[in-house]
Structure 1
Amino acid sequence: MQKGNKDDRLSALPDDILVNILDRLNVPQAARTSILSRRWSQLCAKLSRLIISALDFLPEDVSHTNISVDEVVKINAAAAEATESVLARRNPGEHTIHLLSTTFYLRDDVPIFIGNAVGHAMSTHLVENVEFSIRTGKDHVAEIESDDELVTWAREFMLFFDACPNVFGGLTSLDLGNLRFGESGISSVLTTCKRLKHLHLYSCDSGDGSTLQVEHANLSVLCIVNCRLAQVKLNWLPQLTQLAFDGWIDFQDPLVLGHVPLLEAVCLTNVGLSFNKMVKLSTFLSSTSVRDLKLGFCSEMVS
């Protein structure tokens, strides 16, 4: 600091530059700057990127891979409170929110609480992109005790989904894990989430050996990991550019490609046991213009 100048050089920067700096932080980090001065507290209400994750509220001595149920409840509640607090500070319609991203757990009433807060923000502000990453607390398949647990989590998700249809209708990105839906569950989600561009499914299906049929006007990125699916049928995806499919369980060709005119990047990964049917890439990729193809097979069951 120059002699006689009480403000440091950082505080002397214009608001737009400071907001750009704060946009690179997560919400808890950015919120800590509000204690510096009245000016800094007002800057938090101008952020264009709001990234709120329950995992950011974990104590420093707790690993995100080994969280107790009590800790999940605490950090989930903290994420809900932060979401409401941050959005309530903003003046309606004053500053565009380019990204509103929240990560939380299916616990108690927290999902609906967050859904209502996000829904209110979407109705009173210009929000370009809205992302939900929804966790069950069981981040690895090995941790799931039974199929019944997958069904229970899916029911919890659908209660949330049915309570907040307008919010899901405005989502642009959705990340789901460890859910066993009913026969039409995933299709219902896709039908409601009309603005969806990115969909990530981890250990999600409608029962062992089920087929996932996908139709969506705006989906551009689809990632399917460790879902116990026999086959994925991409019937009509005019905007799809990237596809990742990791793991399938049946003997038939894993993919059926319908209308996917923009598909250019495909990643396929599977164990490929000796009794599995040979995966013939030339068969289901022949009608595409794929330029980036990544394969991860632990056998020679691909041609």
Structure 2
Amino acid sequence: MAAASNTRCIQEVEQQQEDRLSKLPDDILLSSQSLLARRDQRQAVRALYLRFYLGDESVGIVRAVDDAMARGCSIAKATFVILGEKMDIQCTDEDLAGHAARFLSCLDACPRAFAGLTALHVESVKLGQSDINNLLGTWGRLKSLSLLNCDSGRDTALVVQHPRIAVLKLVTCGTIQLRWLPELVKLTCECWLPSRDPLLFGHVPRLRTLALATNCTSDYKILRLSELLDKNATLWIQPEAPKQLAPRLSNLRILNLQKIPEECGIKWTFFLLDAAPLLEELDIEVSNHQCNPLEDEMLRERLVCKKTFIEWEPSDFKRYNLAVLTIYGFRPEKMFMGYITRIMEVAISS
């Protein structure tokens, strides 16, 4: 499957952009204590975006937001992006615990600022279940939550439940249990460990978009989508009969499959189409990506996966809603032409 995007690189590019006060009256972005200190209850802020490292010096900025809200300043959309002091891959368990202590201290000192957030990104913290329960209970307005390198300890699932979160992104996190998220629409999970199940699904009735991406190594377990959408997840996709998948994909409208190795073929993707009767759009990207050669035989055996052609004979079925097929990496060869011919036989316009 697709390798996870380099989240840290994106963040470093964004960090280079200076926070600024917009000249537009309906799109105000404040990033300094002095500006916040001048707000009063008669002035409303349309959008507040603060990006800062999780250090002691940052508490003053957050406190300025807290004080402004205490004076009655209303903020329609408030976003905090809280960065770790180290790269996530460099953090030890002690670093995660230290970051968490500073994070919780900042939250205790500025409860109004966090209670008013509509979006939050947090990096490299280890939170106990009681901590996350208290935090999510406090963040009543939160609609978007992003966690990078966060967990609650080894072999422990971090339980998330919230009445308003609509967008959730998890990158390099431990196991996350989505117990009760009635408004969740989009879920992204990237870069999980092969030894940990990344997700445990609970009550997510409105989930429409699920994006999974990680770096595949040979020690990842096989992924059965029916099991993933029913309870938990691993990795490699294994084609399944529609009987197992149909209950989970019955409302799927758009399917995007990226970086399919050319050696594996694409005929096997019909098992997904067969299980999704309402599918309207199918996007496929075929890649001839070659991994960098590894001289060490043990590393090569562990990290480089063998790509073999996947045998799958689709059953005889029809789809009345499929209107769009996009193939990236298309070439006028037998594999692609045969696939398109079969799609045209399956898709019947109503």
Q: TM-score range by the shorter chain?
A: 0.5 to 0.7
In the other structure, the counterpart of 1:86 is 35
Q: Any gaps of 5 or more consecutive residues in structure 1?
A: 1-24, 31-42, 53-81
Q: Distance in 2 between matches of 1:253 and 1:295?
A: 21
Q: State the Cα distance separating 1:217 from its structure 2 match.
A: 0.2
Q: Deviations over 1:57-76 (max 9, x none)?
A: xxxxxxxxxxxxxxxxxxxx
Q: State the Cα distance separating 1:132 from its structure 2 match.
A: 0.8
In the other structure, the counterpart of 1:204 is 150
Q: Distance in 1 between matches of 2:220 and 2:197?
A: 10
Query: How many correspondences in the alignment?
Result: 229
Q: State the Cα distance separating 1:194 from its structure 2 match.
A: 1.3
Q: State the Cα distance separating 1:269 from its structure 2 match.
A: 1.4
SS of the aligned residue for 1:180 comes to: coil
1:136 aligns with 2:115: no
* Sequence identity (%): 34
8 Å contact from structure 1 (residues 268, 296) kept in 2: no
Q: Distance in 1 between matches of 2:157 and 2:254?
A: 25
SS of the aligned residue for 1:210 comes to: coil
CA change 1:193–1:296 in 2 (3 A) is farther
Which letter does structure 2 place at the counterpart of 1:280? R
CA change 1:148–1:248 in 2 (3 A) is same
Q: Distance in 1 between matches of 2:94 and 2:109?
A: 23
CA change 1:252–1:177 in 2 (3 A) is closer
Which letter does structure 2 place at the counterpart of 1:118? V
Which letter does structure 2 place at the counterpart of 1:161? L
CA change 1:48–1:89 in 2 (3 A) is farther
1:154 aligns with 2:100: yes
CA change 1:158–1:240 in 2 (3 A) is same
1:243 aligns with 2:187: yes
SS of the aligned residue for 1:208 comes to: coil
Decide which of 110, 125, 139 is 2:58's aligned counterpart. Answer: 110
8 Å contact from structure 1 (residues 267, 295) kept in 2: no
Q: Distance in 1 between matches of 2:200 and 2:83?
A: 29
SS of the aligned residue for 1:174 comes to: strand
Q: Distance in 2 between matches of 1:295 and 1:251?
A: 24
Q: Distance in 2 between matches of 1:274 and 1:232?
A: 23
**1:179-258 equivalent positions in 2, closer than 5 A:** 179-227=125-173, 229=174, 231-249=175-193, 251=195, 253-258=197-202
Q: State the Cα distance separating 1:190 from its structure 2 match.
A: 1.3
CA change 1:291–1:151 in 2 (3 A) is farther
CA change 1:274–1:131 in 2 (3 A) is same
CA change 1:143–1:255 in 2 (3 A) is closer
8 Å contact from structure 1 (residues 182, 206) kept in 2: yes
Q: Distance in 1 between matches of 2:56 and 2:146?
A: 23
Which letter does structure 2 place at the counterpart of 1:283? E
Q: State the Cα distance separating 1:296 from its structure 2 match.
A: 6.7
Which letter does structure 1 place at the counterpart of 2:63? N
Q: Tell me the C-alpha RMSD between the 2 structures.
A: 3.0
8 Å contact from structure 2 (residues 172, 193) kept in 1: no
1:172 aligns with 2:123: no
Q: Distance in 2 between matches of 1:223 and 1:119?
A: 26
Which letter does structure 1 place at the counterpart of 2:90? E
Q: Any gaps of 5 or more consecutive residues in structure 2?
A: 1-16, 230-246, 260-303, 313-350
Q: Distance in 2 between matches of 1:177 and 1:131?
A: 14
